[in-house]
Chain A
């Protein structure tokens, strides 16, 4: 049997399996996981639009006028100069025998940032300006969502759903014998199925990453977006997509092998999740056999860590000495190839035993 015939067989298997991987009822939740960042940022866009409308219902005040307000001014003076605020509320605090303290809060909007003024006993005590929309902040949040949620959970569990199903799902459906009764080497069968899973997962999760990225950009001004795109944006998007695709390749190979080895997907998923997320505790040599180790280096923006994040959580989330992006891609592909080689060996041991499933 020639390599060409085997390749053709693998392509036929991939073509047939891809349909199942894309449209399996068992895998519909994979789409929900993939679309979560896009949905979150679209909600954020809607929320920004709604806020902007609410803030500007009494008009927009120029930022120069807002900047001219200084501590010590009274609410009346401020209203006289800036007009009616988009909100104006207050209360009086009374404690024991102390003199009552009157607080009053007012807000103004310059079209892109809201300014909150706090008056104490009729005098401006504090002024705080915060942009409604921060491109820098959104990019950082996207980086956080991508690395914490998308790679560690969405791609991880999505690949679990897609790749574990390739063999285990067919065993449950009692259809695996269709493939085993074809004149196909088990390694070719495994390759075809892996290709199908990879195609489905890469399309779903890179599309999810790209949509999430575009949704993140959507509320920002076209000028800002254009400038970012010309400088880093295109490269960032490409690296996010690459990280998602590599994540699918890496996790996919692991779950394909796990599907050949064990019946219950929960056990390998739990073990792998722990192994991946505890990788920072591991010695450097062992870190190299985690998928996350390589993916983190491909991501364009280091994951932001708030100072308030507990030290233990920081240890889990912060990668230790990530390799270069090129080394990461090569390392992950090597790791994937090794796991697939193991899976190919395992595939020779597949037996049909529907009655015990």
Chain B
């Protein structure tokens, strides 16, 4: 086991009779990892478990070789931006970030320097001296992110970090995540907005009802689920003819013609075989304009896996 992984080994957590997560085993490699699931699926529970805010009822967790029960060492390498505001009453954004840094043992001057640097990275220097209580949702999100990254952690854990951000800030924030990940660090974030993590994640962990429904790169996740047919949108002149040619294939389970008769949706258990057949059709004279694997995004995979709970 590499110490550069975040490892959950058979972890369960119950809140009284309510299931948090059940028998979760995971290995999270450095890079951007998204925990995806509907509200109440267990995303925040997993994040709280790996940062020691809650303890597992069974199983073990190691974050880069450190147990969450040792906050003194763990939180030196971990930054966690939760969904909740934690700023002391009346604190400004700068005070909020700098105060947290003092607990790392930095002198006041050094804490101030690092706080400004972190606020600058999230574009909050202009509002740094305003009270957090007066911040908008997006500004709060950013100041929490600043606090999480201020000590330059190896593992960045972010609960719904893109919520409330405008498109420009969202793009900057995603760039920040990518920079972290490019340095061999963990960026573990949660989201229930599937499209937003689809484009930024190296790997996705799909959670439903406290259990891991799938994990890995989205394409790999998709391929693991062989019992569910893949969907391909094929644009071609003679859609009806193409449909007729494909209908006899044993791995094709369903074909739907578009209303405009210039495209069809094909569901198949073997995408590679379909590609070969389509190549042959093209060679036979069918004018095939494009083949788009429509369900290789998180949303579609997710729908397959959890049955449309999101």
A positions within 8 Å CB-CB of B: 1, 5, 8-9, 12-13, 16, 19-20, 174-175, 177-186, 348-349, 351-356
A182, B55: Cβ atoms closer than 8 Å: no
Which A residues touch B88, using CB under 8 A? 16, 19-20, 175, 178
- Tell me, rounded to whole Å, the shortest Cβ–Cβ distance linking A200 to chain B: 15
Sampled A-B contacts (19; CB under 8 Å): A9-B103, A12-B99, A20-B89, A174-B85, A174-B86, A175-B84, A175-B86, A177-B53, A180-B53, A181-B71, A181-B75, A181-B86, A182-B75, A182-B100, A184-B71, A185-B72, A351-B54, A352-B54, A355-B15
User: Beyond A5-B105, A181-B51, A183-B72: 5 further Cβ-contacts under 8 Å?
Assistant: A175-B85, A177-B86, A182-B100, A184-B103, A355-B15
Min CB distance B229 to A, Å, is 39
A355 to B71 Cα, complex, angstroms: 23
Q: Is B73 interfacial (CB 8 A cutoff)?
A: yes
Residues of B near A8 (CB, < 8 A) are: 105
Residues on B with C-beta less than 8 A from A177 are 53, 80, 82, 84, 86
B84 contacts A174, CB within 8 Å? yes
- Nearest neighbor of B99 in chain A, beta-carbon distance: A16
Query: B53's closest neighbor in chain A, by CB?
Result: A352
Which of A12, A179, A184, A355 gathers most chain B CB within 10 Å? A12
- The minimal Cβ–Cβ distance linking A170 to chain B, given in whole angstroms, is 9
Judged by DSSP, the binding face of B is loop
A19–B91 alpha-carbon span in the complex (Å): 12
Contact with A along B78-103 (1 / 0, CB 8 A): 10101011111100000000011011
A202 and B120 alpha carbons, distance in the complex (Å): 41
Does chain A have a CB within 8 A of B58?
no
A184 touches B53 (CB 8 A): no
Q: Find A12's partner among B48, B52, B80, B102 (CB 8 Å cutoff).
A: B102
Chain B positions near chain A (C-beta within 8 angstroms): 15-16, 48, 51-55, 69, 71-76, 78, 80, 82, 84-89, 99-100, 102-105
Kindly provide the distance from the CB of A196 to the nearest chain B CB, expressed in whole angstroms: 12
Whole-angstrom distance between the Cβ of B292 and the nearest chain A Cβ: 41
CA distance A354 to B44 in the complex (A): 12
Chain B neighbourhood of A13, CB < 8 A: 103
B53 touches A356 (CB 8 A): no
Instruction: Give the distance to chain B from A31, nearest Cβ to Cβ, in Å.
Output: 18
Once the chains are docked, how many angstroms separate the CA of A182 from the CA of B73? 10
B74 adjacent to A183 (CB under 8 Å): yes
Q: Is A183 in contact with B76, judged by CB distance below 8 angstroms?
A: yes
Q: How would you classify the secondary structure of chain A's contact residues: helix, strand, loop or mixed?
A: helix
Closest 5 A-B residue pairs measured CB to CB?
A178-B86, A182-B103, A183-B75, A352-B53, A351-B54
By CB atoms of chain B within 10 A, which of A180, A349, A353 has the most?
A180
Do residues A182 and B84 form an inter-chain contact, with CB atoms below 8 A?
Answer: no
Of the listed residues B16, B69, B71, B80, the one surrounded by the most CB atoms of chain A closer than 10 A to its CB is: B71
- Determine the residue in chain B with the shortest Cβ distance to A5: B105
Instruction: Known A174-B84, A351-B53; judge A182-B15 contact (CB<8 A).
Output: no
Closest to B79 in A: A181
Instruction: Report yes or no: B72 in contact with A184, Cβ–Cβ below 8 A.
Output: yes
Q: In the assembled complex, how far is the CB of residue B144 from the closest CB belonging to chain A, in whole angstroms?
A: 10
Q: How far is the CB of B21 from chain A (nearest CB, A)?
A: 14
Given A9-B105, A352-B48; A183-B71 close (CB under 8 Å)? yes
Do A356 and B15 touch (CB < 8 A)?
Answer: yes
A183 touching B104, Cβ below 8 Å = yes
Contacts of B69 in A (CB 8 A): 348
Given A180-B71, A353-B15, decide whether A12 and B53 contact each other with a Cβ distance below 8 A. no
Residues in A whose Cβ lies below 8 Å from that of B85: 174-175
Residues from chain B with a CB closer than 8 A to the CB of A19 are 88
Provide the bound-state CA to CA distance between A184 and B71, in Å: 6
Enumerate chain B residues within 8 angstroms of A175, measured Cβ to Cβ: 84-88
B74, chain A: closest CB distance, angstroms: 7
Q: Contacts of B55 on A, CB cut-off 8 Å?
A: 349, 351
- Name B157's closest neighbour in chain A (CB-CB): A181
Beta-carbon nearest neighbor of B95 in chain A: A16
Bound-state Cα–Cα, A16 to B86, Å: 13
Taking the closest CB of chain B, its distance from the CB of A76, in whole angstroms, is: 73
Interchain CA distance A182-B87 in the complex, whole Å: 13
Which B residues lie within 8 Å of A180 (CB)? 52-53, 71
Which B residues are in CB contact (< 8 Å) with A179?
103
Bound-complex Cα distance A180 to B53 (A): 7
